[in-house]
Structure 1
């Protein structure tokens, strides 16, 4: 009986699944399990901390929590204002992130919450969408994507990738973002609205165009806010100047409400109001929000890692960047459900927390609970906070982000650093910020590749007195038919064309019969450069000449062997590096060249190798 064709297809698919798909899936599952284990997450929340908790630690944590909460309240409102969101979203994010973060964090000092960078990225990203997506309804979906990206990055140990982002890029980005923050708050200080635009130049243009609508009461209140903030900052540097200035100006402006002056105030929040949000999974939004979420996740990881490492170096306590990234992802997922905006590691609040000397990571938890309680109880009083006062304090925060010393170092250290800073800075002023940071990173990587993509190819010679050395420009070769080329640098795909052209230029000399590539200082040979060597060897073989390689390290030999290029060159023509006698392989290559040329040994003078021996009593340098 002939088996049914459908059954045969089913059996084939089953065998394919058991042979290929199932083992691959099992390996992936084991890999994910191992990655999860390496995070060292103690999901029995803060078990060790709670077991050793005491009243003294509680007092220290509450003191630090109170200080951080006082700063977080006005900062949360300010960052929400920067992002173009209702001010309570910033406080929601501060509270939720402070409660969720300690469950996973490795540092007791890093405080999670909204930051200038994440707020400006949210503002810029939505403006670049030109109103295609509603900000409030899609924000939870953006937070969901950002949180998942951070969690995936933590599981796959991607926090280490943040070290490859140049500090110059971050300085240029933050400086450009500071200008954008300041420009976007000026119209609130002057008391008139402007259309939403996405870049610094457009915002400045709209502000100038509508400047005639400025309201003098708002201008006066903005000036008063600045003076109060400055007085508090100078006279009482240890007090939270932003929070106290906002409170004092709000109290001083109470009588103005009776005169019905054109001053805009914040919207009140009903007593005990805290709405839950379920992310709306509109996949039509995915193409619009995916790039913004990845940019937010990437910059949040950079910001959190840099802050955590800075505080760890000052405190002497270890930090796990992947756990910090996981905590950020969990906090953003929680904000997607409990309300809020994108969060990262906050520089100012983390620094204040470090100064306040908390005993445990629970200080962040108490700070979050204080914020939540304050918002639930004090929400109706938001109606007494004048918008010009809050906008002025945001501008003061924006100016504090411009670090003139960092900018000077970035501009003056090297030409490459200066160019990267300028590209990032002007991109932040002229384009949306998620594009600007990508452009800055791209410029940094390209300039780095340009620097490492210039391998050094120098012709060497030898004699009995000095041994192997660089050949002078007008010096004749010891044997005209033999050329020794010292190769130094990175041999990856970016330098293949340059490497090939330089070698071919040398090989145009008609008197050359043997070329020795001395590769003891060549690194990271890849397939592209291996093909260039293969083409060179074939070209020389076709013309009756020979290519030899000396000083080949193990990685170089491994690539030549696995690619098959070693067979084109000839295994007898490749001489491995000998560690204690680094020039001995070149000596052996010269002997091989003598043999290939059919010369007697006496016709090729072999140099003396000078090797630094291990110092013993009465001994100095030994000759090989």
Structure 2
């Protein structure tokens, strides 16, 4: 297959395969508790998270765009998946995940991988921090062992219910959770090579089972344990009504999955010096999300922490991801019955730690302190994620970011009135108020697009206060011109022409020149009035003005223009111009 025709598997030695095997086992040990915890927090059975870890992990390793990517259920999906389960049910969650997989594959085929990277950091940090708050708050009930709690879609509903149920807290659950917290803090400090997440599940489970059995809620009491059999292949019952209803949730899953997987791939690139293929990564993630729901798995994406663990464990090729999936599968078949004794209280600290790690609180605080438009985008995205939902948050966040971008770009455009150096010196020495009222020479800087076009036109019009005969626009630094910018430029030229003036354009790049040609403005201006060199435009402009009628040169003894015509000094004026943008 074309997706497998690359050099990621070539040249592997037996030692490389051994290193991949050890890395895969290490990541698998980390992935097992996370897979169960993420599934439970998403409102589904823990084994569905493990199925996702196996299937998505293997498929993304084989067909994704990164050598080291580890895929599976992630914390970022928890609020979305929980909301879908509460509103539509588990079966429709599988359909939404299936549809999201198709969307991701289409994004990859149409090469949208690079476009996702343009989502502003203020938006991604905003919704990531919001998700972290939701995850953390959602685990308070398990940490305290509260009774009678129901899964709620909204953050404020969850918090209200927690306060109402505080009298039902379970001291045994708190003891188990605190023990888990201590393990998560102390084990990495004193035993860095020990798989802390697995230890944080096993030790509390053993203590609870031996010393106070039946006093805390476990996976077995809440979900009936984990099945030791493999899932069966089942195709979702797709109907047009379900497709329409689940289109928006599926799109949110696809967008978040694409963003997180590419962020994870970028992190892997930074750690290894390799380069991932973003479009292929989207195709691999899409394929995984198409296949996983057929076996009861929940949506998956690239997991940054597990991918980093994979690299640190010595992974060489995508085989480490394959070995990780196989290890988790073998563990399910061999040890699934023992998982029923794991207390939910021992999973709470793990998910809380995940929430703290994914919150990016330092970056969040840094952007807030900037007090710029990015701070506003961040705050709005964060608050909407927490109190409404991720769909609305991302939409409003991107909308605000777009308006902020347009405003910034409109401030970039500048208009500079250029005065040649020698004439500047003459002006200073003779006390002249202006050099040549018949010629106006401006340098335009920045893109002429809809957000800046009106400002450009008004600045030029305001600067022409003595009705010159020739207007020269040097456009060397205009990188782009859109329909609105072209229309405003045409309007300026036509208005100036009505007063008897002539506009000369100089030093346009090929893209701007082609835009002007396609708009018809090129013919309207005239080929003779478009120059590749600004100095030639100045020379030409001196042939257009009537020196004898000039308010300066028509006076007896005023020879500024004649001196320049005779000495041909004006040919080099553009090169000797001094630049400064007036905003």
**What TM-score comes out, normalization by structure 1 length?**
0.82
For residues 157 and 57 of structure 1, the distance between their equivalents in structure 2, rounded to whole angstroms, comes to: 32
Query: Partner residue of 1:269?
Result: 226
Pair 1:540 & 2:496 matched: yes
For residues 433 and 7 of structure 2, the distance between their equivalents in structure 1, rounded to whole angstroms, comes to: 76
For residues 210 and 17 of structure 2, the distance between their equivalents in structure 1, rounded to whole angstroms, comes to: 41
In the TM superposition, what are the counterparts of 1:401-440 in structure 2 within 5 Å? 401-412=358-369, 415-440=372-397
Pair 1:253 & 2:208 matched: yes
Query: Partner residue of 1:584?
Result: 535
Structure 1 residues 238 and 446: alpha-carbon distance in aligned structure 2, compared to 1, 3 A threshold:
farther
* SS class of match (2:476): strand
Query: Partner residue of 1:378?
Result: 335
Question: Which of the residues 42, 58, 61 maps onto 2:4?
Answer: 42
Report how far residue 445 of structure 1 moved: 2.7
For residues 492 and 597 of structure 1, the distance between their equivalents in structure 2, rounded to whole angstroms, comes to: 40
* SS class of match (1:490): coil
For residues 603 and 48 of structure 1, the distance between their equivalents in structure 2, rounded to whole angstroms, comes to: 71
Pair 1:482 & 2:444 matched: no
Contact 1:140–1:278 (CA under 8 A) maintained in structure 2: no
Contact 1:142–1:289 (CA under 8 A) maintained in structure 2: yes
For residues 316 and 490 of structure 2, the distance between their equivalents in structure 1, rounded to whole angstroms, comes to: 63
Query: Partner residue of 1:458?
Result: 416
Query: Partner residue of 1:618?
Result: none
Query: Partner residue of 2:144?
Result: 190
Structure 1 residues 524 and 230: alpha-carbon distance in aligned structure 2, compared to 1, 3 A threshold:
same
List per-residue Cα deviations over 1:194-250 (Å, max 9, x = no partner).
Answer: 344333333223322332332333223222322233232332222221111101111
Contact 1:141–1:336 (CA under 8 A) maintained in structure 2: yes
List per-residue Cα deviations over 1:272-295 (Å, max 9, x = no partner).
Answer: 242333122132222332222222
For residues 106 and 62 of structure 2, the distance between their equivalents in structure 1, rounded to whole angstroms, comes to: 18
List per-residue Cα deviations over 1:497-525 (Å, max 9, x = no partner).
Answer: 22233333345x36444332222211211
For residues 530 and 55 of structure 1, the distance between their equivalents in structure 2, rounded to whole angstroms, comes to: 63
In the TM superposition, what are the counterparts of 1:105-504 in structure 2 within 5 Å? 105-124=64-83, 131=87, 133-134=88-89, 136-191=90-145, 192-255=147-210, 258=213, 260-261=214-215, 263-266=217-220, 267=223, 268-412=225-369, 415-454=372-411, 455-464=413-422, 476-504=433-461
Contact 1:549–1:589 (CA under 8 A) maintained in structure 2: no
Query: Partner residue of 1:27?
Result: none
List per-residue Cα deviations over 1:286-338 (Å, max 9, x = no partner).
Answer: 23322222222222222222222222232223321222211111111111212
List per-residue Cα deviations over 1:544-570 (Å, max 9, x = no partner).
Answer: 333332333332222222111123333
* SS class of match (1:464): helix
Query: Partner residue of 2:473?
Result: 517
Contact 1:140–1:280 (CA under 8 A) maintained in structure 2: no
* SS class of match (2:506): strand
For residues 426 and 596 of structure 1, the distance between their equivalents in structure 2, rounded to whole angstroms, comes to: 66
Contact 2:535–2:570 (CA under 8 A) maintained in structure 1: no
Contact 2:423–2:435 (CA under 8 A) maintained in structure 1: no
Count residues in correspondence: 557
Structure 1 residues 467 and 419: alpha-carbon distance in aligned structure 2, compared to 1, 3 A threshold:
farther
Of 397-406 and 358-367, more deviation after overlay is shown by 397-406
Report how far residue 165 of structure 1 moved: 1.6
Structure 1 residues 168 and 298: alpha-carbon distance in aligned structure 2, compared to 1, 3 A threshold:
same
For residues 391 and 468 of structure 1, the distance between their equivalents in structure 2, rounded to whole angstroms, comes to: 79
Contact 1:141–1:279 (CA under 8 A) maintained in structure 2: yes
Structure 1 residues 67 and 537: alpha-carbon distance in aligned structure 2, compared to 1, 3 A threshold:
same
Structure 1 residues 475 and 488: alpha-carbon distance in aligned structure 2, compared to 1, 3 A threshold:
farther
Query: Partner residue of 2:581?
Result: none
Report how far residue 119 of structure 1 moved: 2.7
Report how far residue 96 of structure 1 moved: 0.5
Structure 1 residues 572 and 408: alpha-carbon distance in aligned structure 2, compared to 1, 3 A threshold:
same
For residues 349 and 261 of structure 1, the distance between their equivalents in structure 2, rounded to whole angstroms, comes to: 33
For residues 560 and 570 of structure 1, the distance between their equivalents in structure 2, rounded to whole angstroms, comes to: 11
* SS class of match (2:252): helix
Contact 1:468–1:607 (CA under 8 A) maintained in structure 2: no
* SS class of match (2:478): strand
For residues 171 and 415 of structure 2, the distance between their equivalents in structure 1, rounded to whole angstroms, comes to: 70
Report how far residue 572 of structure 1 moved: 2.7
* SS class of match (2:217): coil
Report how far residue 366 of structure 1 moved: 1.5
For residues 118 and 13 of structure 2, the distance between their equivalents in structure 1, rounded to whole angstroms, comes to: 42
Structure 1 residues 464 and 307: alpha-carbon distance in aligned structure 2, compared to 1, 3 A threshold:
same
Contact 2:67–2:276 (CA under 8 A) maintained in structure 1: no
Report how far residue 589 of structure 1 moved: 5.0
For residues 453 and 92 of structure 2, the distance between their equivalents in structure 1, rounded to whole angstroms, comes to: 47
CA RMSD of aligned residues (A): 3.0
* SS class of match (1:484): strand
Contact 1:516–1:589 (CA under 8 A) maintained in structure 2: no
Q: Which runs of 5+ in 1 are unaligned?
A: 1-36, 614-624
Question: Which of the residues 18, 25, 47 maps onto 1:59?
Answer: 18
Contact 1:272–1:377 (CA under 8 A) maintained in structure 2: no
* SS class of match (1:493): coil
For residues 492 and 8 of structure 2, the distance between their equivalents in structure 1, rounded to whole angstroms, comes to: 64
Question: Which of the residues 66, 70, 76 maps onto 2:29?
Answer: 70
* SS class of match (1:552): coil
* SS class of match (2:32): helix
For residues 181 and 505 of structure 1, the distance between their equivalents in structure 2, rounded to whole angstroms, comes to: 56
Query: Partner residue of 1:17?
Result: none
Of 53-62 and 283-292, more deviation after overlay is shown by 53-62
For residues 47 and 253 of structure 1, the distance between their equivalents in structure 2, rounded to whole angstroms, comes to: 50
Contact 1:467–1:609 (CA under 8 A) maintained in structure 2: no
Contact 2:85–2:93 (CA under 8 A) maintained in structure 1: no
Structure 1 residues 125 and 480: alpha-carbon distance in aligned structure 2, compared to 1, 3 A threshold:
farther
Pair 1:101 & 2:60 matched: yes
Contact 1:76–1:114 (CA under 8 A) maintained in structure 2: yes
Query: Partner residue of 2:505?
Result: 549
For residues 11 and 508 of structure 2, the distance between their equivalents in structure 1, rounded to whole angstroms, comes to: 57
